[in-house]
Structure 1
Amino acid sequence: MKKIENPILLFKKWYQKELELTNVRIPSAVCLSTVGIDNFPNARFVSFKELINDSFIITGPLNSRKGIEIDNNDKVSLTFWWTETERQIRVQGIATKIEDKLAEKYFAERNANSKAVSLICEQGKEVNDLKLLEDEILKKVAQNERIDRPKNWSGFLIKPLRIEFMEFKKTRFHDRKLYEIENDKWNMKQIQP
């Protein structure tokens, strides 16, 4: 029986290679897709934080559209596209809220502007006066005081059920491997380009 590579280790190897080669400003950007409360798919770019216990971590407000949609339907996907290595990774999995202690850690790593935006803004909600909102944020930052994590700011741990790795080829004969959890272990299928 052929031993297959652990897809989490393969992800780490591919991600590290891209980080070594890339010049993009936000190399951790990943497209998060959710099922909308109106049953339409929703996709947006978020920042991938790290892998913990073979799960992908992202953060953000729980009362944002993504937070509400994940609360309503925990089936999500992540899509990584890396230009330098010409590779794509698609992850499908189940999202659960991270523990408060971990949310505190990620919030503490944010800069003052990001913290102030998270404290004051209601992500995705309509605003009547954008300048007034911006002034409020700048005033908060200028106070140079500690900004505590709002209770509605946290993150999600995405436990993968499927991970597809694709390496693009000039011939268009792309190399695609699909890993799926079956009976608590990873199985791999080579799939057509």
Structure 2
Amino acid sequence: MKNKEQPTQLFLKWFDEELKLSKVRIPTAVCLSTMGTDDFPNARFVSFKELIDDSFIITGPLNSRKGLEIENNNKVALTFWWTETERQVRIQGIASKISDQLADKYFEARNTNSQAVSLICEQGKETDNLKKLEQKVLDKVSENTKISRPQNWSGFSIKPTRIEFMEFKKTRFHERKLYQVVADDWTLKNIQP
């Protein structure tokens, strides 16, 4: 059936309810899944930034494994699990690179240590001297100068094509709603637990 309610509005409502109750240190953590260049799926936690134009924004290095995998295949999935409200949201969508202006905004909002790590480290690459790398980061931080966003650091906007909401119940008769884009419009199905 066609649905007038935008699923992203329901997402924001649930997200706000979880944030009000959450005791975890990083309540914006979300599992990003990509298809690996070796044909194995990959999953890792990233930080959800915000919704812009009904798309989910995440950031990180473009030359990291996740960045290279998204460049190779931009069909991705996000999975949120919220402990306090016992809800899960699963999103499938298409990722595209965000603008440089938006990437600059997110990079400037990071603390200096995070900026230095992004400037100096090549996320996921092998190193033979972790201490030396850490010292480079500490030296950069101690310079106390503005760190500009590296060109390989940006983010992705994930336009959803499918969003599933699940509320866990003690009876295990979980409530599940599946929104899908069909002919440029959201449809809604109730699905079995």
Is the TM-score greater than 0.5? yes
Alignment RMSD: 1.0
Instruction: Show the counterpart of 2:113.
Output: 113
CA contact (8 A) 2:74 2:94 kept: yes
Deviations 1:120-152 (A, max 9, x none): 000000010000000000000000000000000
The whole-number CA distance in structure 1 between the counterparts of 2:36 and 2:4 is: 35
Question: How far is 1:183 from its partner?
Answer: 1.0
Amino acid of the residue matched to residue 20 of structure 1? Answer: K
CA contact (8 A) 1:33 1:76 kept: yes
Question: How far is 1:3 from its partner?
Answer: 4.8
Instruction: Show the counterpart of 1:15.
Output: 15
The whole-number CA distance in structure 1 between the counterparts of 2:80 and 2:126 is: 29
Amino acid of the residue matched to residue 58 of structure 1? Answer: I
Instruction: Show the counterpart of 1:159.
Output: 159
Q: Which runs of 5+ in 1 are unaligned?
A: none
SS of residue matched to 1:78: strand
CA contact (8 A) 1:4 1:188 kept: no
Question: How far is 1:5 from its partner?
Answer: 2.5
SS of residue matched to 2:117: helix
The whole-number CA distance in structure 1 between the counterparts of 2:135 and 2:99 is: 32
The whole-number CA distance in structure 2 between the counterparts of 1:127 and 1:23 is: 35
Amino acid of the residue matched to residue 170 of structure 2? Answer: K
Superposed, 1:21-170 pairs within 5 Å as 21-170=21-170
The whole-number CA distance in structure 2 between the counterparts of 1:44 and 1:52 is: 22
Aligned residues: percent identity? 71
Deviations 1:66-111 (A, max 9, x none): 0000000000000000000000000000000000000000000000
Amino acid of the residue matched to residue 50 of structure 1? Answer: E
Q: TM-score, normalised by structure 2?
A: 0.98
CA contact (8 A) 1:162 1:178 kept: yes
Amino acid of the residue matched to residue 80 of structure 2? Answer: F
CA contact (8 A) 1:89 1:164 kept: yes
Amino acid of the residue matched to residue 68 of structure 1? Answer: L
Amino acid of the residue matched to residue 54 of structure 2? Answer: D
CA contact (8 A) 2:2 2:187 kept: no
Question: How far is 1:6 from its partner?
Answer: 1.6
Deviation larger for 20-29 or 1-10:
1-10
The whole-number CA distance in structure 1 between the counterparts of 2:13 and 2:85 is: 12
Q: TM-score, normalised by structure 1?
A: 0.98
Amino acid of the residue matched to residue 85 of structure 1? Answer: T
Return structure 1 stretches of 4+ with deviation > 3 angstroms.
1-4
Number of residue pairs matched by the alignment? 193
Question: How far is 1:30 from its partner?
Answer: 0.1
Amino acid of the residue matched to residue 128 of structure 2? Answer: N
Q: Which runs of 5+ in 2 are unaligned?
A: none
Amino acid of the residue matched to residue 122 of structure 1? Answer: E
The whole-number CA distance in structure 1 between the counterparts of 2:3 and 2:163 is: 17
Matched, 1:181 2:178: no
